[in-house]
């Protein structure tokens, strides 16, 4: 009987993964026809033409004057671009194939991650599928520079969190070491990956830690992450030089801008397409009123509290990353937050015990998270 249950579970998992992979592969097929063009894409392409040696790629002091790769120290991301440029030049197919493969992998990782919080396979599948077919993510993956940068960064952040949770569950240090490795490599893919640290801390303090005030041994788990974040932190700091962020008024303006952008980002995350100012304000008010309730109920439900804080932290990462672009908001900067967004949407359904009500509640949510996104992709994509 036990073997039959295990076999049944394996079959279900395989079927779920096949549906996820097939859906994304079919849906994203039109991207392969797009040529390698556009500002960010060509900046990355030109950057590897100039930084054509491994020494130049890992030289953290190197700056070519370009606004994309040379403005930051992202050697892993640049190595990926160098491989593609050296082997395929401007043939767009391999670039798009890589972006779609990264998205498929992220969707699968998210499925296993959300299974920890949502428990039920059907709801976990729906949340992961929502991420996979999201209209905003469709746009991100279709833009090669964003697909590579944020796709790989998301892979490392999700992997770091999933592996750490597995370590807490199994006490197997191998998962912990893998989590540290994923985090360290991620910081050299895109420096905002260092902000995975508060996400890990939030999970530990809310879900994992014993509720006592005194210091305990397990609190030291975060120390290696802090140490591994020092290289990219020091490198990034040294490149700020006279940036407005490091003076008092620059820091104050950054804080005000962060609040404004938070509302704008989550507004776009919910609405998915540009809408009128009236609708934006209505959604903004809904957001401002919803978060206090989520925090209040989260004090009674630790998983809900973590998912809420996880979403806030992910949006904050994107605000930081998009600070230099204060005039426009693009969907490229909402890929990572959508991982927590769909988890938060589907989590309340897990609390409904009545099967009939659970199904009735799921139907409009599926319409919003999956059907609406598919329509937007077909019409606008």
Question: Tens of pLDDT along 265-299?
Answer: 777 788 877 777 787 778 777 877 787 777 777 77
Q: pTM for this structure?
A: 0.89
Higher-scoring residue by pLDDT: 178, 25: 178
Structure tokens at 108: 């699968």
Q: Are 296 and 163 in contact (CB under 8 A)?
A: no
**pLDDT range class, residue 225, cuts 50, 70, 90:** very high
| Nearest Cα to Cα of residue 346 among 33, 117, 81 | 117
Q: Give the pLDDT of residue 254.
A: 54
Residue count (the chain): 381
CA distance 312 to 17: 28
Better-scored residue on pLDDT, 14 or 172 = 172
Q: How far is residue 335's CA from residue 54's CA, in Å, rounded to a whole number?
A: 29
By the 10 Å C-beta count (0-12 exposed, 13-18 middle, 19+ buried), 276 is classed as exposed
324 CB-near residues (< 8 Å, 6+ apart) = none
pLDDT of 248 higher than 50: no
């Amino acid at each position: 009987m036990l073997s039959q249950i295990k076999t049944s579970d394996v079959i279900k998992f395989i079927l779920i993964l096949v549906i996820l992979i097939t859906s994304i592969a079919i849906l994203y097929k039109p991207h392969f026809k797009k040529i390698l063009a556009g500002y960010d894409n060509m900046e990355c392409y030109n950057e590897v033409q100039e930084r054509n040696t491994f020494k130049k790629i890992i030289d953290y002091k190197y700056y070519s004057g370009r606004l994309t790769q040379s403005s930051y120290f992202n050697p892993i991301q640049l190595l990926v671009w160098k491989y593609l440029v050296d082997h395929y030049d401007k043939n767009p197919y391999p670039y798009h194939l890589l972006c779609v493969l990264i998205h498929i992998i992220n969707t699968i990782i998210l499925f296993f991650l959300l299974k920890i919080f949502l428990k039920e396979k059907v709801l976990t599948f729906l949340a992961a599928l929502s991420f996979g077919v999201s209209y905003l993510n469709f746009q991100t993956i279709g833009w090669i520079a964003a697909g590579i940068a944020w796709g790989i960064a998301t892979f490392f952040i999700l992997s770091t969190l999933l592996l750490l949770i597995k370590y807490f569950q199994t006490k197997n240090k191998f998962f912990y070491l893998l989590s540290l490795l994923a985090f360290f490599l991620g910081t050299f893919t895109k420096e905002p990956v260092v902000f995975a640290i508060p996400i890990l801390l939030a999970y530990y303090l809310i879900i994992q830690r014993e509720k006592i005030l005194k210091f305990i041994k397990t609190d030291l788990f975060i120390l290696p992450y802090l140490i591994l974040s020092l290289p990219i932190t020091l490198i990034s700091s040294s490149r700020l030089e006279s940036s407005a962020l490091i003076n008092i008024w620059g820091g104050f303006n950054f804080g005000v801008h962060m609040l404004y952008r938070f509302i704008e980002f989550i507004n776009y995350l919910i609405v998915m397409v540009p809408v009128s100012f009236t609708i934006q304000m209505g959604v903004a008010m809904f957001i401002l009123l919803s978060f206090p309730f989520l925090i209040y109920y989260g004090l009674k439900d630790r998983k809900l509290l973590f998912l809420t804080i996880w979403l806030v932290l992910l949006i904050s990462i994107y605000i930081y990353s998009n600070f230099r672009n204060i005039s426009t908001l693009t969907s490229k900067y909402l890929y990572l937050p959508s991982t927590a967004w769909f988890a938060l949407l589907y989590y309340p359904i897990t609390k409904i015990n009545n099967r009939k009500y659970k199904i009735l509640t799921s139907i409009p949510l599926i319409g919003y998270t999956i059907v609406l996104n598919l329509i937007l992709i077909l019409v606008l994509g």
